[in-house]
Structure 1
Amino acid sequence: MIIAIDGPAASGKGTLGKKLAAHYGLRHLDTGLIYRAVAKALLDDGRPADDKTAAVAAAAALDPARFEPAALKAQAVGEVASVVSAIPELRAALVAFQRDFAATPPGAVLDGRDIGTVICPDADVKIFVTASPEVRAHRRALEFAASGAPMDEAAVLADIRKRDERDMGRAAAPLKQAADAHLLDTTNMDISTAIRAAIDIVEASRAGRGRD
Structure 2
Amino acid sequence: MWEDARALEQLRCKWTPLLVRCLADGISRPGQLKRAIPGLSTKVLYERLHDLQQSGFVRALIFEGYPRRAEYHLTEKGRRLLRIVSMCQRYDVPLPVLSEVLKCRWLRDILGILRAGPQRPSSLQRQLVGISRKVLSEKLEKLEHLHVVRREVSPTRPVAVWYRLSEEGERLSELLADLGAISRPMRVAVGTLS
Q: Which has the higher contact order (CA 8 A, sep 6+)?
A: 1
- Structure 1 or 2, whichever has the larger Rg, is 2
TM-score, normalised on structure 2?
0.25
